Amino acid sequence: MESTQPLIQYTTVSESVYLWIKNAIIQGDFKPGEHIAQETLTKKLGVSRTPVRDAIKRLEAEGLLITKPHCGAVVFKLSRERLTEIYDIRILMEQYCAARTCILASDENINALETINLRMLNFSNTSREFMQLDRQFHSLICTLSGCDDTVEILEGLWNKCDSFKSIYYSLEGRINDTLAEHSRIIQGLRNRDIDMTKQAISDHLKDVVDYVGRHVNFG
């Protein structure tokens, strides 16, 4: 006989539902292209429709679910090839911008980057705010370069990275590593050391590829 005990029993209900669905996607319990039925989840998790609906909207915003006409939310296809391609291009473009930022940024600009990094300490790694601040950090580095066309292209890449970043930041220990890696980038900028800054950016972004590649069931 199936247990009637709800599977969700910790933190807030909305956060727990979000994490449960997200982990099911990462672990491959929900397959790429599979339809996510809200009604089925409410019964399985023993919760009301509202937290399930909120979780699905949040996962759609992160790119792990997509909405299709007449179908609703379906699981996005994550692939190792897509992960590698997007981040390889992103590394090259962010390094290009950062090299110019090393020369052009004022001390106040660099202090602003440090402020963003410190603010990230106030949020959990799975929160919207944490991911938004990480996006602001990278966006500011590139914007300070004055390379507007490159930043415009990067905006599209950053959007494509959201699903992978969402997974990355759900893994244990990612907050401390991210903040430390950001600090190395900031130090490179303070030193006006282009090679150090470019290496720090490469190490930081390759860390995402490495961890996601090892923890995601790509099928």
Q: What is the pLDDT along the chain (219 residues), one digit of tens a residue?
A: 344 444 444 468 888 898 888 888 877 788 878 888 888 889 988 999 999 999 898 888 877 888 877 778 888 888 899 899 999 999 999 999 999 999 999 999 999 999 999 999 998 777 778 888 999 999 999 999 999 999 999 998 998 888 888 888 888 878 889 999 999 999 999 999 999 999 999 999 999 999 999 888 776
DSSP SS3 for 74 = strand
- C-alpha to C-alpha distance for 96 and 98, rounded to whole angstroms: 6
The CATH number fitting domain 80-215, selected from 1.20.120.530, 3.90.1300.10, 1.25.40.10, 3.40.640.10: 1.20.120.530
- C-alpha to C-alpha distance for 168 and 207, rounded to whole angstroms: 9
DSSP SS3 for 125 = coil
pTM given for the model = 0.75
Using an 8 Å Cβ cutoff, are 92 and 201 in contact?
no
Domain-by-domain residue ranges, the chain? 13-75, 80-215
Nearest in space to 198 (alpha carbons), one of 124, 100, 59: 100
Which overall architecture, per CATH, does domain 13-75 show? Orthogonal Bundle (1.10)
